[in-house]
């Protein structure tokens, strides 16, 4: 059985448990390949007894893509996955790890899960993003996909951005704000949540449009069906704006239209046996936690 690894190469604090984890997988009869840069990093730090085969994309025989890092690493791994039809799992070595419920201590459980014919997976929707090809000429950028969100942002921190927004060809509004986030249910707990957006159950057929610091108080987050075709036309005083896809930023001329819709591509996430949406809200976002400090009174 073969699995593919994609990892954060700055996680020096995780070197010892990562070495033990890889050894445990191999001892269980698991073959391992790694993304090319991660394979080099593993070799330089002597985390394996022999070098792992480097890969530019997951091998056709791979059963799982395993992301080792935080949520940012998971999003990068999702891009590296491309069109490969294998599930992903995340081992959290970062901070919150909302997308990565597994740990290095789960090596045996992970192996048993992979060998089981009853793997529990959860399919997550993605966004497909397109804009005129000549808008990014000379900067090496191209339209793509996003698992969490697409954000339209101003380049100059002292001026606002205006984002004309259309839903299924019908005019919705002009968002006057610091930016606009269009998020999937998976991304509803990321940038959108920080900007005041709602939490959406990960498998719900919905998208959320969340303005960032809107200049009109009546502009609130809006949930729409994930079948909606969204067109945005940002304009700025500076002549350019930033388009962010899961943190990858492209600078575009003011007035460049961007089309956003649900992608035909999805991500299948391998669930941890003890993980569920309600438990994640309690453990990651501390729902129901009594934050009142004892001993203090007003």
Q: Would you please indicate which residues are annotated as catalytic (active-site) residues?
A: 71
295 sits in the region (left: phi over 0; alpha: psi -120 to 50; else beta) called left
Axis-axis angle for helices 15-27, 107-115 (nearest 10): 40
Q: What is the torsion angle, in degrees rounded to the nearest 10, for the CA atoms of residue 52, residue 56, residue 61 and residue 65? A: 80
Could you give the 3-state DSSP secondary structure of residue 165? Answer: strand
User: How many C-beta atoms surround the C-beta of residue 287 within 10 A?
Assistant: 12
Nearest-angstrom CA–CA distance, 231 and 216: 21
Q: Annotate 105-141 with three-state secondary structure.
A: HHHHHHHHHHHCCCCCEEEEEEEEEECCHHHHCCCCC
Which one, of 251, 162, 283, 173, lies nearest residue 218 by Cα? 173
Q: Which residues have a Cβ under 8 Å from the Cβ of 168 and sit 6 or more positions away?
A: 228, 229
The H-or-E segment that residue 283 falls in is helix 277-284
- The CA R_g of the chain, rounded to the nearest whole Å, is 21
Could you give the 3-state DSSP secondary structure of residue 253? Answer: strand
């Amino acid at each position: 059985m073969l699995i593919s690894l994609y990892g954060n190469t700055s996680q020096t604090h995780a070197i010892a448990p990562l070495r033990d984890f890889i050894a445990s997988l191999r001892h269980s009869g698991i073959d391992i390949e790694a993304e090319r840069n991660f394979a080099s990093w593993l070799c330089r730090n002597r985390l394996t007894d022999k070098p792992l085969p480097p890969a530019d994309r997951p091998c056709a025989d791979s059963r799982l893509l395993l992301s080792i890092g935080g949520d940012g690493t998971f999003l990068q791994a999702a891009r590296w996955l491309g069109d490969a039809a294998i599930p992903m799992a995340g081992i959290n070595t970062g901070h919150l790890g909302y997308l990565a419920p597994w740990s290095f201590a789960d090596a045996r459980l992970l192996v048993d899960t992979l060998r089981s014919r009853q793997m529990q997976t959860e399919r997550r929707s993605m966004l497909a993003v397109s804009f005129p090809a000549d808008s990014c000429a000379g900067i090496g950028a191209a339209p793509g996909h996003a698992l969490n969100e697409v954000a339209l942002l101003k380049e100059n921190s002292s001026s606002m951005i205006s984002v004309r927004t259309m839903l299924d060809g019908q005019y919705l509004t002009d968002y006057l704000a610091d930016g606009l986030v269009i998020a999937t249910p998976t991304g509803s707990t990321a940038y959108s949540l920080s900007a005041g957006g709602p939490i959406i159950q990960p498998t719900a057929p919905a998208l959320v449009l969340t303005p960032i610091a809107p200049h009109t108080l009546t502009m609130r987050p809006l949930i729409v069906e994930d079948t909606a075709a969204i067109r945005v036309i940002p304009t700025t005083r500076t002549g350019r704006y930033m388009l962010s896809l899961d943190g990858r930023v492209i600078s575009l001329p003011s007035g460049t239209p961007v089309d956003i819709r649900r992608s035909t591509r999805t991500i299948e996430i391998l669930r941890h046996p003890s993980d569920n949406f309600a438990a994640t809200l309690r453990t990651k976002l501390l729902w129901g936690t009594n934050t009142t400090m004892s001993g203090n009174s007003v």
